[in-house]
Amino acid sequence: MSDKSVSVVGGTARLVAIAAIAAVIVALAWQVTRRPIAENLHAQRMAEFSAVLGSVSFDTLDYDNFMRIEAPHDLPGDEAAIIYTAMRDDQVAAWVFVVQAAGYNGPIRLMIGLNPALDVTAVRVLEHAETPGLADGIERSKSDWIDGFNNERVVNESDPRWALRQQGGAFDSFTGASITPRAIVHAVRDTVAWAKRNSEDRLGTKTDD
Amino acid sequence: MTDIRSIVSDGLWHNNAGMVQLLGLCPLLAISNTAVNALGLALATLAVLTLSNVLVSLARPLLQPEIRIPAYVLVIAALVTASELIFNAFLPSLHARLGIFLPLIVTNCAIVARAESFASRQSPGLALVDGFAYGLGFGWVLVVIGIARELIGTGTVFAGLNLLIPSMPATGITITDGGMLLALLPPGAFFALAALLVVRNLIHAKRVR
């Protein structure tokens, strides 16, 4: 009985010592990598923002300061939507929307840039789970399909141009995969339409159509 | 049993973690879709396995039978966390592609298996050789499957090598045009591993005879 309690105490003490060694390893690694990780994150966010803002020039885009619209909302997607604001000379230079299109294999996270007139500046796919090979076209690193959204304008929610070419729209489909591009086209259209409907009360601006 | 040559040949071939022990199949199958992903995970696993073997061997005075499993888990979890931080800081795009499989190295039972069956009984020097040999053995199987799947799936090899070595071309080596998509999808992993096991068993059968 007493032997056993000694070994429990001893075992616990040894385990605590090993946990302390493990904690030191993690602390050292964190110390070394903390700054590069923060810098990478910043560079990656800024690269994403610049990619969707195209030629729009802006002074500040604070990615810690965003509007979060909790689901259920009438933007595309079932998760919260995020809206960042890029400023220039104290005026809004652009908005960046992060929404989800309903892809074939689940949500496709999209980043959509809109200028103050609510034209699309550019669109990028942040994350998706579509079938590799078939839906490669949505990745900017593999295809320029997504550039088809550059400087596009949405007239209203039933704008006939915002469909795939086979339905009389303005956007190309991919061989073997039409659900994916259609989902993105519609998500972008619905995001712009939402921005137009809500420009005064949610985005705090008046746009002249 | 403990001479260096037999440790190395066990790790690389006779008792290979991926091909003979069939341990660590989850990362082996999931991350072998391209040669670069496979190489990245192979390097991370190699580092974690080697260091965990050394640390477990050094911690032998602290180990006792009752606490050895939580002790291994602590050591391995600390090393995996550190390696994930290091990838995130210095190879961010590869970190983004490997995603959840980097932290999941912690569940690779090949690592606990070496800690339990070798490092906890042997000197740090031998434990280092053992960890390195088994890490290399797991790694080459991973990379061979990665090369085969990428080649059959897309016709290229080592596309995206710039994620690992910035001076290398992003396009890799193109061998054929296009490929069989199946190889990139999950079933392709099982077919590739099965083919490798067939080859291994044929060689083994020949030697025994």
d(CA A59, CA A45): 15
Q: Which residues have CB under 8 Å from B15's CB, separation 6+?
A: B21
Residue pLDDT, tens place only, B83-141: 999 999 998 888 888 888 888 888 888 899 999 999 999 999 999 999 999 999 999 99
Place of tokens 């990745």: A139
Find out whether B78 and A22 touch, Cβ atoms under 8 Å: yes
Burial tier of A161 (Cβ tally within 10 Å: 0-12, 13-18, 19+): middle
Please choose, from the candidates B185, B153, B193, the residue with its C-alpha nearest in 3D space to the C-alpha of residue B172: B153
Residue of B nearest to A34 (CA): B89
Beta-carbon contacts below 8 Å between A and B = 76
DSSP string, B130-154: HHHHHHHHHHHHHHHHHHHHHHHHH
- A157 and A186 Cβ atoms separated by less than 8 Å: no
Taking 50 as the threshold, does the pLDDT of residue A209 lie above it?
Answer: no
- B17-74 pLDDT per residue, tens: 888 888 888 888 888 888 999 999 999 999 999 999 999 999 998 888 888 999 999 9
Which among B55, B70, B86 has CB closest to A29? B86
Shortest Cα distance, chain B CAs vs residue A32, angstroms: 8
Contact assignment for A33 to B184 by CB distance below 8 Å: no
| Distance in angstroms (rounded) separating the CA atoms of residues B198 and B57 | 35
Supply the ipTM of this predicted assembly.
0.81
pLDDT for the residue A208 = 45
SS3 B194: helix
Chain B residues bordering chain A (beta-carbon distance below 8 Å): 33, 55, 59, 62-64, 66-67, 70-71, 74-75, 77-79, 81-83, 85-86, 88-90, 92, 153-154, 181, 184-185
Nearest 5 degrees, angle CA A99-CA B96-CA B53?
Answer: 145
pLDDT, average across residues A53-80: 86
Supply angle C-alpha B182, B185, B190, rounded to 5. 85
Distance CA A79, CA A100 (A): 7
Residue tagged 């606990």 (tokens): B112
Q: Which residue has the higher pLDDT, A175 or B33?
A: B33
Contacts of A11 in chain B (CB under 8 A): 64, 66-67
| Closest Cα in chain B, distance from residue A88 (Å) | 30
Taking an 8 Å cut-off on Cβ atoms, the answer to whether A33 and B64 are in contact is no
Residue B27: predicted pLDDT:
82
Nearest to B62 among A14, A25, A30 (CB): A14
Closest chain A CA to residue B67: A11
Name the strand (E) or helix (H) holding A83.
Answer: strand A81-88
Q: Give the pLDDT score at B163.
A: 79
Q: What is the Cα–Cα distance from A124 to A25, expressed in whole angstroms? A: 38
The mean pLDDT value for A106-119 works out to 93
Q: Please give the Cα distance from B65 to B192 (Å, whole number).
A: 39
The reply to whether residue A37 touches residue B89, judged by beta carbons under 8 angstroms, is: yes
Q: Is the pLDDT of residue B1 over 60?
A: no
Would an 8 Å CB–CB cutoff place A16 in contact with chain B? no
Helix axes B124-154, B35-58, angle to 10 degrees: 170
Confidence of residue A3 (pLDDT cuts 50, 70, 90): low
For A140-147, which contacts have Cβ atoms below 8 Å and span 24 or more sequence positions? Answer: A140/A51, A145/A172, A145/A174, A145/A181, A146/A122, A146/A184, A147/A122
Q: Which helix (H) or strand (E) holds A50?
A: helix A2-53
* B120: helix, strand or coil: helix
CA dist., res. A34 & res. A39, Å (int): 9
CB-closest option in B66, B75, B85 to A7:
B66
The answer to whether the CB of A78 falls within 8 A of the CB of A107 is: yes
Measured distance CA(B118)–CA(B28) in Å, rounded? 22
Comparison of pLDDT for B181 and B193, the residue scoring more: B193
For residue A4, is pLDDT > 70?
no
Q: Give pLDDT, residue B106.
A: 86
Structural tokens at position B119: 């490092």
What residue in A sits closest to B185 (Cα-Cα)?
A: A132
